[in-house]
Structure 1
Amino acid sequence: MKKKQKIITLMIAISLLTGCPSKNSVNHNNDYYVKDTNAFNILISQYANNIEQIWGPKEVVIAGPKDYVQYEDNLKTRVHINFVSGVITFETLSDTPLDNLKEAIVSTLLMSEPVDIIRHDKISQDLSQEPFLYNQVLDQERQPIRWNGRASSFADYVLSNNLMQRESGSHQITYVEIKLVPNHINQRARKFLPLITKASNRYFIDERLILAIIEAESAFNPYAVSRTDALGLMQVQQHTAGRDIFKLRGKSGEPSRKFLLDPRNNVDMGTAYLSLLKTKYLAGINNPISLRYAMIVSYNGGAGNVLRIFSNDRNEAINIINSMTPQQVYQRLVTSHVSQESRNYLIKVSKILDNK
Structure 2
Amino acid sequence: MRQFVYPLAALLFISCTLVGCSREMVESIYNVDFEPSNRFAKNLARLPGQYQKDTAALDALINSFSGNIEKKWGSREIKIAGKRNYVKYIDNYLSRTDVNFDTGVIMVETVASTEPKQHLKNAIITTLLTPDNPSQVDLFSSQNIQLKGQPFLYKQVVDQDKQPIQWSWRANRYADYLIAHHLKTKEVDFKKAYYVEIPMVEDQVEIRSYQYANIVRKASQRYGIPEDLIYAIIKTESSFNPYAVSWANAYGLMQVVPKTAGRDVFNLVKNRSGQPSPKYLFNPENNIDVGTAYFYLLKTRYLKQVNNPISLEYSMISAYNGGTGGVLNTFSRDRSRAVRDINRLQPNQVYWALTKKHPNAESRRYLEKVTQYKKEFNKH
Counterpart Cα distance in 2 of 1:326 and 1:142: 47
Counterpart Cα distance in 2 of 1:39 and 1:235: 17
Q: What secondary structure, in the 3-state scheme, does the structure 1 residue paired with 2:130 have? A: coil
Q: What secondary structure, in the 3-state scheme, does the structure 1 residue paired with 2:330 have? A: helix
Counterpart Cα distance in 2 of 1:118 and 1:41: 19
Alignment match, 1:186? 206
Q: What secondary structure, in the 3-state scheme, does the structure 2 residue paired with 1:292 have? A: helix
Q: Structure 2 residue aligned with 1:114, among 126, 133, 146?
A: 133
Alignment match, 1:4? none
Q: CA deviation at 1:252?
A: 1.6
Residues 1:212 and 2:239 are matched in the alignment: no
Instruction: Show the 5 A alignment for 1:89-128.
Output: 89-94=107-112, 95-114=114-133, 117=136, 123-126=145-148
Q: Structure 2 residue aligned with 1:270, among 288, 291, 299?
A: 291
1:229–1:169 distance in 2 versus 1, CA, 3 Å:
closer
Cα deviations by residue, 1:26-58 (Å, 9 ceiling, x for unpaired): 359x9xx86xx2232122122212212221221
Q: How many aligned positions are there?
A: 324
Alignment match, 2:60? 42
Gaps spanning 5+ residues in structure 2: where? 1-46
Cα deviations by residue, 1:253-273 (Å, 9 ceiling, x for unpaired): 211221111111110000000
Counterpart Cα distance in 2 of 1:148 and 1:335: 51
Query: Is the Cα contact below 8 Å between 1:111 and 1:123 reproduced in 2?
Result: yes
Cα deviations by residue, 1:89-113 (Å, 9 ceiling, x for unpaired): 0111112121111111112111211
Q: What secondary structure, in the 3-state scheme, does the structure 2 residue paired with 1:113 have? A: coil
Q: CA deviation at 1:311?
A: 2.4
Gaps spanning 5+ residues in structure 1: where? 1-24
Cα deviations by residue, 1:48-87 (Å, 9 ceiling, x for unpaired): 1221222122111111111111112221111111122111
Give the alignment's TM-score, normalised by structure 2: 0.81
Residues 1:225 and 2:245 are matched in the alignment: yes
Counterpart Cα distance in 1 of 2:317 and 2:353: 14
Counterpart Cα distance in 2 of 1:206 and 1:118: 31
Counterpart Cα distance in 1 of 2:176 and 2:128: 13
Q: Structure 2 residue aligned with 1:345, among 362, 366, 369?
A: 366
Q: Structure 2 residue aligned with 1:70, among 74, 81, 88?
A: 88
Give the alignment's TM-score, normalised by structure 1: 0.86
Give percent identity, aligned residues only.
Answer: 46
1:118–1:155 distance in 2 versus 1, CA, 3 Å:
closer
Instruction: Show the 5 A alignment for 1:196-345.
Output: 196-248=216-268, 249-345=270-366
Instruction: Show the 5 A alignment for 1:80-159.
Output: 80-94=98-112, 95-114=114-133, 117=136, 123-126=145-148, 129-159=149-179
Moved over 4 A (4+): none
Query: Is the Cα contact below 8 Å between 1:118 and 1:258 reproduced in 2?
Result: no
Q: What secondary structure, in the 3-state scheme, does the structure 2 residue paired with 1:70 have? A: strand
Q: What secondary structure, in the 3-state scheme, does the structure 2 residue paired with 1:158 have? A: helix
Counterpart Cα distance in 2 of 1:174 and 1:122: 20
How well do the aligned residues superpose, as a CA RMSD in angstroms? 2.0
Query: Is the Cα contact below 8 Å between 2:137 and 2:145 reproduced in 1?
Result: no
Q: CA deviation at 1:308?
A: 2.0
Q: CA deviation at 1:168?
A: 3.1
Query: Is the Cα contact below 8 Å between 2:134 and 2:243 reproduced in 1?
Result: no
